[in-house]
Structure 1
């Protein structure tokens, strides 16, 4: 899936039309779903453990606002940004320079740990990501959204 391709998401304000939001898999939609992308992307950073801590905390605080406002699409997007912080930082932690594939297109052998600082950043995001996934409000809203909107 390419997040840079144009799609119907660009024409929808998901705060105004939460019924149009599809949960999707993993990190799908992180660069498409507005206004949440514009609210969360500026908070997202995984350069090192300190920036990851600030970023994850800010995204989690935004998650709590969405939860208070009954905005499931925002809650789920915050979860996706936390997940993406983990996966991107972990890629750099395992692969020098974050390069997972060689010039031949074959996946390179991961290193243990190519970048220890990125691993620490990934672990910060993982903690916040897990907090959201285990939140009973998130779980019940996710189920309710699926029942209502598929």
Structure 2
């Protein structure tokens, strides 16, 4: 009986693909430092709207990389991730984390709407900080906190028909739906009430937040003199430059 010859099957070359990075859990992505550090928890301010969203650490650095609104698909993914962070923080009992996530979702809504209403995203001729600096230069007084500014800003006229307008409007609506969910979330509202009571008792017991800390970091320090003032201005400029670069990348259409 004749033998059947079998040909050797060549072995596959080793894969040159690099291994996929390990999947990070929600706990790894969104830690809860305020639960373990009273200083972080008590220096926080809920404030108005989105105030403090780009200054309060370490939550700014935790959440900012997930904030995107350039296109509708990008906004959908970003808003879903940030809402997941919000839900996680509520479940963990971290008011600071949940409120910061809420602020980022709200900023996705308002910032995208601004770029829909104004080509290039410039809503005002000058920012509150610019106006306060100009006023301080005239009077010789320290620069006031721009978040408490009483100087009226001049709003630029809205533009229509500019590139990306419809996309930014749609992106804004995506964030708006989830922002509304955050604002009426029972767990979040309960945490907010508990935190407000805790902070009130803490302040009654003599707790204080320094001017250079909390969500106003960098502004009041400008009123100082000498090395401290220069250092505060330098740090603020560096931080603001990084924030503007991040936002600039967001609004450049693919």
TM over 0.5: yes
User: Shift of residue 106 of structure 1?
Assistant: 3.3
Are 1:66 and 2:116 matched, yes or no?
A: no
State the TM-score, normalized to the length of structure 1. Answer: 0.83
TM-score computed with the length of structure 2 as normaliser:
0.50
What runs of 5+ residues in structure 1 fail to find an aligned partner? 1-12
Deviations 1:55-93 (A, max 9, x none): 000001111111111100000000000011111000001
Provide the rounded CA distance (Å) in 1 between the counterparts of 2:159 and 2:190.
Answer: 38
Q: Distance in 1 between matches of 2:47 and 2:96?
A: 11
1:121 aligned onto 2:144: no
CA RMSD in angstroms comes to: 1.8
1:11-90 equivalences in 2 (<5 Å) = 14-15=34-35, 16-17=37-38, 18-90=41-113
| 8 Å Cα contact 1:14/1:34 also seen in 2 | no
CA-to-aligned-CA distance 1:102-143 (integer Å, 9 cap, x gap):
48x732222456411000000011111111001011111112
Change (3 A) 1:142 1:116: same
Instruction: For residue 60 of structure 2, give the secondary structure of its aligned residue in structure 1.
Output: helix
**Is the contact made by 2:34 and 2:94 (CA closer than 8 Å) also made in structure 1?**
no
Which residue of structure 1 lines up, in the alignment, with residue 193 of structure 2? 143
Rounded to whole Å, the distance in 1 between the matches of 2:108 and 2:185 is 19
* Cα distance in 2 between the residues matched to 1:38 and 1:93: 26
Q: Is the 8 A contact 1:45 1:85 kept in 2?
A: yes
Deviation at 1:34, TM superposition (A): 2.2
Aligned length: 137
Mapped contact 1:113–1:119 kept (Cα < 8 A):
no
Stretches of structure 2 that go unaligned for 5 or more consecutive residues are 1-32, 127-152, 201-254
